[in-house]
Amino acid sequence: MTTYNPKTVTDQSGSHDPVKVKVRHLTKAYDELLVLNDISFDIRKGELLCIVGPTGCGKTTFLNCLTGFAPLTSGEILIDNEPGNLFRHNIGFVFQEPSTIPWLKVWDNVAFGLKIKKLPPPEVISRVEKMLDTVGLRRFVDYYPRELSASLEQRVALAREFAVKPDLLLMDEPYGQMDIKLRYYLEDEVRRIQMEEGTTVAFVTHNIEEAVYLADRILVLSQKPSTINEEVAIDLPRPRRFDAPEFVAIRNHVTEAIKWW
Amino acid sequence: MDDYILSCQDLTVSFKDSEPPVLRGLTLGVRENEFLVILGPGQCGKTVFLNCLAGLQLPTEGAVYYRHNKVVGPGRERGVVFQKYALFPWQTVLGNVAWGLKSQGVSKEKRRAIALKYIQLVGLSGFENAYPQTLSGGMKQRVGLARAYATGPKVLLMDEPFGALDAQTRYAMENELLILWEKEKRTVIFVTNNIEEAVFLGDRVILMSARPGRIKIEREILIPHPRSYTDPTFLALRQEISAETDLAL
């Protein structure tokens, strides 16, 4: 059996990529409940970072802090060296629960962000059409979200976020409800967008196989109050195979690292 | 058909004449105490299929048989565990688990005793008086399992029971379901879109294709329990089934 020797990443100064997101001494508490405890790390520009951890460890809270949805208790988060600002920074966010706009049909849901950004109409149309094909929603353009299954509805939200070509894409367990085939297909799609657009991606997941498949680097959080247990750099060649011995070794290693049961 | 506890013959279901049928010509037999997994991508009609077996949906053509009897509606020999739990919010855990027994006319003391037994078996002792809204997803589905078991069905029909759970909780629940099943063997028909889950649980896996829903391939899984998610044989079988699965775009 292949065993994995962790290459713990503690010093990132060796990398020449500029830092996209800088997290310093991030602490978040809800009243007495300390969720995130003094967390510091960087996400480099163009990097795909996966964040894993036990259930309830504060992964979603972390993303919410990043966007400013949840105020920090202390510490700071800088995007492009300034405080995160949803108006200035081009941030895309895919939530765990499908978050479509109920009164808009599928086509208008996907076009929503592009219209807000006041893109010229021909550009809006071409981007929407391209995304509809990518996520397989062509047949459903005239449906309302309530007429769709959970998987289809989530694809509407994905298409809407992908369409704006965000330079920071935050994904909170987006593929939980999908079958494996579709998940791998959409994971490849995230990777493709990341490569083509140079997008920086922070991807939260419970699924360790998904993390090993996607990530340039995995951040393993501990039980609440969460700190960083370990950082695992993954330099397996792509496309990765879930049944390759090296892949399985890393997967088993990360599974052990988050184990609380 | 004599050897089967539950079977179907040329099962076809159409909802609209203008569209291809959701299910076309399904023929299948389920052995007593078998753990059968129905696997398929999104929208392939696997829930419709399960509903037919439960008697909640009547076929357009063909029929479902419980032993030699044609299924024409729900019956107490077939219990269902739903994806979205379907617990009564105004009832406690105990009330939910005992509910089906009440409609069977079982006495109050006996209902309580049976319900407590299954609540204990699914690991919810101490939560008998809790209401569903105070429970986590995994705990709610434990209640769903206990409720289905409590009425004493011969066949348990499970519709993606762990689909809404996060991956780590799902692994834990898969293990616990097998422990429960080993303790009290029943015929289980388990619907899922998750290939890993199918290979972990099933004695046999039926893979469906979509539009119209049909049986594509069938595999007996001979890997002994407890199975490991990362064992090479396990991963090879997963890969083999994955290669046969349609991309449900």
Has residue A213 been placed in a domain? Answer: yes
When pLDDT is averaged across residues A62-78 and rounded to a whole number, the result is 89
Has residue A116 been placed in a domain? Answer: no
When pLDDT is averaged across residues A218-240 and rounded to a whole number, the result is 93
When pLDDT is averaged across residues A33-56 and rounded to a whole number, the result is 93
Q: Pick the residue of B230, B233, B240 with the most A CBs within 10 A to test the interface with A by mutation.
A: B230
Model confidence at A5: pLDDT above 80:
no
Using CB atoms and an 8 Å cut-off, which of residues 139-158 of chain A contact chain B?
149, 151-152
**Residue B147: CB atoms within 10 Å:** 27
In the prediction, which pLDDT does B84 show?
84
Q: Pick the residue of B136, B168, B240 with the most A CBs within 10 A to test the interface with A by mutation.
A: B168
Residue A220's domain is classified under what CATH number?
A: 3.40.50.300
Model confidence at A4: pLDDT above 80:
no
Shortest Cα distance, chain B CAs vs residue A25, angstroms: 28
Has residue A45 been placed in a domain? Answer: yes
Has residue A53 been placed in a domain? Answer: yes
**Nearest-angstrom CA–CA distance, B183 and A31:** 44
Could you tell me how many CB contacts below 8 A there are between chain A and chain B? 69
- Say if the Cβ atoms of B42 and A149 lie within 8 Å: yes
Q: Measured between beta carbons, which residues in chain B are less than 8 angstroms from residue A213? A: none
Residue A251 contacts B where some CB pair is shorter than 8 Å? yes
The proportion of chain A whose per-residue pLDDT surpasses 90, expressed as a percent, equals 66
> What residue type is B91 in one-letter code?
Q
pLDDT digits (tens, 9 = 90+) for A108-160: 999 999 999 999 999 999 999 999 999 989 999 999 999 888 788 989 999 99
Model confidence at A16: pLDDT above 80:
no
**Nearest-angstrom CA–CA distance, A12 and A202:** 17
Q: Is A104 helix (H, G, I), strand (E, B) or coil?
A: coil
Q: Pick the residue of A1, A3, A172, A179 with the most B CBs within 10 A to test the interface with B by mutation.
A: A179
Q: Per-residue pLDDT for chain B (249 aa), expressed as one digit of tens each? A: 568 999 999 999 999 888 889 999 999 999 999 999 999 988 889 999 999 999 999 999 999 999 999 999 999 999 999 988 899 999 999 999 999 998 889 999 999 999 999 999 999 999 999 999 999 888 999 999 999 999 999 999 999 999 888 888 899 999 999 999 999 999 999 999 999 999 999 999 999 998 889 999 999 999 999 999 999 999 999 999 999 998 877
CB A22 within 8 A of CB A37: no
**Nearest-angstrom CA–CA distance, A39 and A229:** 10
| Residue among A136, A205, A213, A131 at smallest CA distance from A175 | A205
DSSP sequence for B75-113: -TTEEEE-TT----TTS-HHHHHHHHHHHTT--HHHHHH
Has residue A25 been placed in a domain? Answer: yes
pLDDT digits (tens, 9 = 90+) for A166-202: 999 999 989 987 888 889 999 998 998 889 889 999 9
In the prediction, which pLDDT does A89 show?
87
Span of A5-9, A20-24, A85-89, A115-119 with lowest mean pLDDT:
A5-9
Q: Looking at residue B247, what DSSP letter applies? A: P
CB B165 within 8 A of CB B137: yes
Has residue A184 been placed in a domain? Answer: no
- Residue A63 backbone dihedrals phi, psi, to 5 degrees: -65, -40
Provide the edge-to-edge strand list for the sheet that holds B214-220.
Answer: B78-81, B155-159, B187-192, B35-39, B204-209, B214-220
- Say if the Cβ atoms of A182 and B246 lie within 8 Å: no
Q: Does the B4-77+153-244 domain belong in CATH 3.40.50.1370?
A: no
Q: How far are the Cα atoms of A63, B50, B190, B241 from residue B198, in angstroms, in the given order?
A: 32, 16, 8, 10
Summary mean pLDDT of chain A: 89
Which residue does chain B place closest to A245, by CA atoms?
B232
pLDDT band at A237 (very low <50, low <70, confident <90, very high): very high
**Residue A74: CB atoms within 10 Å:** 10
**Nearest-angstrom CA–CA distance, A200 and A213:** 17
| Residue among B104, B100, B78, B82 at smallest CA distance from B5 | B78
**Nearest-angstrom CA–CA distance, A64 and A26:** 12
CB B22 within 8 A of CB B212: yes
pTM of the prediction? 0.86
Residue B248 contacts A where some CB pair is shorter than 8 Å? yes
Shortest Cα distance, chain A CAs vs residue B130, angstroms: 21
Q: Measured between beta carbons, which residues in chain B are less than 8 angstroms from residue A177? A: 163-164
**Nearest-angstrom CA–CA distance, A92 and B2:** 58
- Say if the Cβ atoms of B42 and A136 lie within 8 Å: no
pLDDT band at A86 (very low <50, low <70, confident <90, very high): confident
Residue A2 contacts B where some CB pair is shorter than 8 Å? no
**ipTM summary value:** 0.80
**Based on the structure, what is the number of domains in chain A?**
1
When pLDDT is averaged across residues A57-81 and rounded to a whole number, the result is 88
In the prediction, which pLDDT does A178 show?
85
- Say if the Cβ atoms of A243 and B163 lie within 8 Å: no
> What residue type is B107 in one-letter code?
S
Domain boundaries, chain B: 4-77+153-244, 86-152
